[in-house]
A and B are shown apart, each in its own frame.
Chain A
Amino acid sequence: MLFNSFVFLGFFLLIYALYLSSRRSRRLQNVLLLVASYVFYGYWDWRFLGLLALSTVVDFFVGRALHRSADPRRRKLLLTVSVCTNLGILGFFKYFDFFADSLAALMGLLGLQPDPFTLGILLPVGISFYTFQTMSYTIDIYRGKLEPVDSISDFALFVAFFPQLVAGPIERASNLLPQIARPRRIGQDEVGAALWLILWGYFKKVVIADRMALIANPIFAEHAEFQGLELVVGLLAFTVQIYGDFSGYSDIARGVAKLMGFELMVNFKLPYLAINPSDFWLRWHVSLSSWLRDYLYIPLGGSRGGTLRTQRNLALTMLLGGLWHGAAWNFVIWGAYHGTLLAVYRWLDPRPIHADPWRDRSQRPRVLFMMALMFVFTVIGWLIFRADSASQIVYFLGNMHHGVGETGWTLLYTWFYFSWPLIPVQLLQYRTGNLLAVTGLPTPLKLAIYGLLFCGIVAFAVHESMEFIYFQF
């Protein structure tokens, strides 16, 4: 069930009406949300509900057993069971064919001719998100940072909560579980914020991202037919597409959750205004980058233990972060690319800025330059991310400066036409430091913006529902 479908609209309105009508019983609301979440997930493919349930049951009981046990060896064993179950599910369904293919290719390079052995496994939607989410629960209990929940239905809701089930944000148990366990209050301020998030999220998805896809997809599909400015616009279109698509989903998810009284973590903090690689990862897919930091980078030793160890930890974290996005080598290389950017940046050991550089006028040129430079690095990263082959990357890099191409200006116009709304909104958010800044504008201006966004969604939405890019991860 896609957020950008009429089916979801009907589904949500029904669930929301039932949710509000049962507001006197938190338990009833939770059961309703749990059933709704399973229906939401099963709408794609009911067979994968078993995986969701398996992950839930294993981690629920492991969490309780961990809490009861004081024996370090038993606790370690229990944690291993949880991690192996989740990574086993993830590894089998997401990576089996990839590793089998890669192994066969490697053996082929060594002169061996193995029989190809892949299973053609269908990837369950959102598997990377909910497995990481449940793992954080058992790891936090193991670390003594979290108490296990008593109710398996509450825990099941934590795993399957439909707004963020298939594309995040990857919630922490310490944030979401307490909200599930206590009665929710839906304040008017939150409803106001939710309306903005939903409207802006839909606009970013169905207008900006989907229109960008119409530019980027043909160019990446037939890259040899394009050159110069056309390739540049194709790449910029994908850059805007992936941001609009993923941040749009996150905004809708957070807005929908807010309407029901839940507060999900902010997943995007103006990533294309980052001024360096470290800054970028504090702004892009924050729920994943902070997960990797807390459950991978820091356990590996983090920045303790010298420069080389830090660089190794960074590289390993980013490689696995890249692989998390998909079972293909370009994601691994993309992770390595960002790992390298971070490593080089740390090696340069820059002087930190602890104040808002924008407010210090003398810093502005430098900040603008840093933003532009980081944006270029980010765009190159997206080329690696999106490319189907190494030759495509080489073609893009080798031909982007060759002229305009037949359709270059038209594509550029279309690109700008649909992506410009990002500029004023993000500048306002940046200047105020408030992602909800639009909600605080004078009422006539705010209503005009809301009205334009709504009309834009109705008029410019691509009618054939396009899946969110991050569903495949």
Chain B
Amino acid sequence: MPRTDQNILPTERAVRTSRRATAFTVVVVLACGLFFNAGLSLLLSARPALDNSTYVAFREQWQRLVRLEEPVETLIIGDSSGRHGIDPEILDDALGTVSLNLCTMGDAAVTNPAWQLEHYIQRFGPPKRVIMVAVHDLWKRDIKLPLIPVVPLPWGYWPTMRAPLELDRAETRDVFLARFVPVYSKDQTVLRTLMHPWRASRLQIHFSGQGFASIRRSDPDLARSDFADHLKWSAPAGWRISRASHHALEAMIAMAEEYKFELFVANSPQLVGMIDDDVFGPYYREGQEFLAGLLSGSPRAHLILSPPATYPAEQMQNSDHIAKDVVEDFTRRVATAVQACEE
């Protein structure tokens, strides 16, 4: 067995260099970091499926609004129940209108729909009507911080909106990193992309040109278990509305009055039997009473689909997302309710 000795151990022998060469090295290294960051920004914007479906849906809907060239008569905003529930083509047929579905998801709370509406009005003036679709537990939520940098409005927009948002220093820093330094803030996406580049290719949500995304298959088991979760987590705590959601809804009502358009707050579709439940029913009705009271303060604001449109588990993907088979039914119910109010 050979034995080594210290003669062959590696040592450190510094290589001759100059101040200029060292400075050049530092500059090049930092530049590499900047280029890498810029490259990732481009890659992430060109291939949205690199990230999760929530982020994709949110980004897609905002991009739809930003790219919009012609005004529409009916704007549909709200959460994912509206994104999967109201097909603008059907609504256009029923109401004889031109509509656009900009619904995103529950994590965007009520604040984001208010921002979308405000931005739309700034660009095109007021639409004829706005349909705001909401699941019962949307009202208690606050917009999730990671979504704020995705909104394609100028930096620092959030306290200037009619539904303003206050961020502390740490939150502002996180938003900055998320918006401008994806190499740091989107580390999980970057990691997945670089480790498994062959996997990141499919778009997970398919939207129609008017912003509708259909759910192809129902999932009765998920619909029932989702309801059980609502019973467990939402209903026992009682219905409530967050401060931000309250401000956002008030801002929407104020915009409706100022710009003279009709605002319809539509309840999401629901699994049949939910409102008859001894625990869920009272919780749900508490929310309805509050919303009805708030909206009744303005002649332009209306609560529709109360009680909600309900469907059996076999036609739902979860307790408030309908599958494509009943999209036409739900959309027509919305249209009918809108027409009834307008008449």
Chain A residues within 8 Å of B187, by CB: 459-461, 463
Which B residues fall within an 8 A CB radius of A?
Answer: 1-19, 21-22, 25-26, 28-33, 36-37, 40, 183-184, 187, 190-191, 194-195
Is A435's CB under 8 angstroms from B10's CB? Answer: yes
Is A459's CB under 8 angstroms from B15's CB? Answer: no
Q: Which of A192, A269, A276, A283 contacts B22 (CB 8 A)?
A: A192
Between A and B, 21 residue pairs with Cβ closer than 8 Å are A189-B16, A193-B14, A195-B25, A275-B4, A276-B2, A278-B3, A282-B6, A350-B2, A353-B2, A353-B4, A353-B8, A355-B8, A366-B2, A370-B1, A429-B10, A435-B11, A439-B15, A446-B25, A447-B25, A452-B32, A459-B191
Q: Which of B8, B21, B195 contacts A357 (CB 8 A)?
A: B8
Candidate in B1, B33, B187 with the most chain A CB atoms within 10 angstroms:
B1
Minimum Cβ distance to chain B for residue A279 (Å): 4
Per-residue CB proximity of A179-213 to B under 8 Å, as 1/0?
Answer: 00000000011111101000100000000000000
Is the CB of A412 closer than 8 A to any CB of chain B? no
Given A282-B4, A451-B28, check contact A436 B13 (CB 8 Å).
yes
Is A450's CB under 8 angstroms from B29's CB? Answer: yes
Candidate in A367, A430, A447, A455 with the most chain B CB atoms within 10 angstroms:
A455
Minimum Cβ distance to chain A for residue B10 (Å): 5
Is A188's CB under 8 angstroms from B12's CB? Answer: no
Given A276-B3, A278-B4, A350-B2, check contact A447 B11 (CB 8 Å).
no
Minimum Cβ distance to chain B for residue A409 (Å): 13
Is A190's CB under 8 angstroms from B14's CB? Answer: yes
Is A353's CB under 8 angstroms from B11's CB? Answer: no
Is B33's CB under 8 angstroms from A192's CB? Answer: no
A-B contact count (CB 8 A): 142
What is the bound-complex CA distance between A146 and B19, given in angstroms? 36
Nearest chain A residue, comparing its CB with the CB of B193: A459
- Having A436-B12, A454-B33, one finds 11 other A-B pairs with CB under 8 Å, namely A188-B17, A188-B19, A189-B16, A193-B14, A269-B9, A279-B4, A352-B3, A353-B2, A436-B15, A439-B17, A450-B28
Given A192-B17, A195-B25, check contact A352 B2 (CB 8 Å).
yes
What is the bound-complex CA distance between A434 and B1, given in angstroms? 25
Chain A residues within 8 Å of B29, by CB: 199, 447, 450-451, 454
Minimum Cβ distance to chain A for residue B41 (Å): 13
Which A residues fall within an 8 A CB radius of B?
Answer: 188-193, 195, 199, 266, 269-270, 274-276, 278-279, 282-283, 345, 348, 350-357, 363, 366-367, 370, 414, 417, 429-430, 432-436, 439-440, 443, 446-447, 450-452, 454-455, 458-461, 463
Q: Which of B11, B25, B32, B33 contacts A266 (CB 8 A)?
A: B11
Q: Which of B4, B184, B191 contacts A352 (CB 8 A)?
A: B4
Is B36's CB under 8 angstroms from A276's CB? Answer: no
Chain A residues within 8 Å of B183, by CB: 455, 458-459
Given A188-B19, A447-B28, A459-B191, check contact A357 B2 (CB 8 Å).
yes
Candidate in B11, B16, B32 with the most chain A CB atoms within 10 angstroms:
B32
Minimum Cβ distance to chain A for residue B4 (Å): 4
Minimum Cβ distance to chain A for residue B178 (Å): 13
Is B4's CB under 8 angstroms from A276's CB? Answer: yes
Chain A residues within 8 Å of B10, by CB: 269-270, 429-430, 432-435
Is A451's CB under 8 angstroms from B32's CB? Answer: yes
Is B26's CB under 8 angstroms from A195's CB? Answer: yes
What is the bound-complex CA distance between A433 and B6, given in angstroms? 12
What is the bound-complex CA distance between A188 and B14, given in angstroms? 10
The 4 closest A-B pairs by CB, nearest first: A451-B32, A350-B1, A192-B17, A352-B3
A interface secondary structure, majority: helix
Given A458-B36, A463-B187, check contact A436 B2 (CB 8 Å).
no
Is B17's CB under 8 angstroms from A353's CB? Answer: no
Chain B residues within 8 Å of A433, by CB: 8, 10-11
Minimum Cβ distance to chain B for residue A210 (Å): 12
What is the bound-complex CA distance between A331 and B17, given in angstroms? 44
Chain A residues within 8 Å of B14, by CB: 189-190, 192-193, 436, 439
Given A357-B8, A450-B29, check contact A189 B17 (CB 8 Å).
yes
Is A351's CB under 8 angstroms from B2's CB? Answer: yes
Minimum Cβ distance to chain A for residue B301 (Å): 44
Is A345's CB under 8 angstroms from B1's CB? Answer: yes
Chain A residues within 8 Å of B36, by CB: 455, 458-459
Chain B residues within 8 Å of A354, by CB: 5, 7-8
What is the bound-complex CA distance between A397 and B191, given in angstroms? 32
Chain A residues within 8 Å of B26, by CB: 195
Nearest chain B residue, comparing its CB with the CB of A358: B8
Minimum Cβ distance to chain B for residue A222 (Å): 23
Chain B residues within 8 Å of A279, by CB: 3-4
Nearest chain B residue, comparing its CB with the CB of A356: B8
What is the bound-complex CA distance between A270 and B195, given in angstroms? 27
Chain A residues within 8 Å of B4, by CB: 274-276, 278-279, 282, 352-353, 357
Given A195-B25, A455-B36, check contact A188 B18 (CB 8 Å).
yes
Candidate in A274, A414, A429, A434 with the most chain B CB atoms within 10 angstroms:
A434
Candidate in A370, A414, A450, A451 with the most chain B CB atoms within 10 angstroms:
A451
What is the bound-complex CA distance between A404 and B187, given in angstroms? 29
Minimum Cβ distance to chain A for residue B17 (Å): 4
Q: Which of B2, B6, B21 contacts A275 (CB 8 A)?
A: B2
Minimum Cβ distance to chain B for residue A273 (Å): 9
Minimum Cβ distance to chain A for residue B258 (Å): 44
Q: Which of B5, B11, B15 contacts A440 (CB 8 A)?
A: B15
Minimum Cβ distance to chain A for residue B170 (Å): 12
Nearest chain A residue, comparing its CB with the CB of B181: A458
What is the bound-complex CA distance between A350 and B40, given in angstroms? 55
Nearest chain A residue, comparing its CB with the CB of B27: A447
Is B15's CB under 8 angstroms from A195's CB? Answer: no
Minimum Cβ distance to chain B for residue A283 (Å): 7
What is the bound-complex CA distance between A460 and B191, given in angstroms? 7
What is the bound-complex CA distance between A463 and B2, given in angstroms? 44
Nearest chain A residue, comparing its CB with the CB of B4: A279
Chain A residues within 8 Å of B33, by CB: 451, 454-455, 458
Q: Which of A278, A414, A459 contacts B190 (CB 8 A)?
A: A459
Chain A residues within 8 Å of B40, by CB: 459
What is the bound-complex CA distance between A84 and B214, given in angstroms? 76
What is the bound-complex CA distance between A189 and B21, given in angstroms? 10
Minimum Cβ distance to chain A for residue B192 (Å): 11
What is the bound-complex CA distance between A279 and B4, given in angstroms? 6
Chain A residues within 8 Å of B37, by CB: 458
What is the bound-complex CA distance between A414 and B30, given in angstroms? 27
What is the bound-complex CA distance between A364 and B111, given in angstroms? 69
Chain B residues within 8 Å of A440, by CB: 15
Chain B residues within 8 Å of A459, by CB: 36, 40, 183, 187, 190-191, 194
Candidate in A278, A354, A458 with the most chain B CB atoms within 10 angstroms:
A458
Is B1's CB under 8 angstroms from A348's CB? Answer: yes
Candidate in B17, B187, B195 with the most chain A CB atoms within 10 angstroms:
B17
Minimum Cβ distance to chain B for residue A221 (Å): 22
Chain A residues within 8 Å of B31, by CB: 451
Nearest chain B residue, comparing its CB with the CB of A451: B32
Chain B residues within 8 Å of A353, by CB: 2-5, 8
What is the bound-complex CA distance between A61 and B195, given in angstroms? 57
Chain B residues within 8 Å of A417, by CB: 195
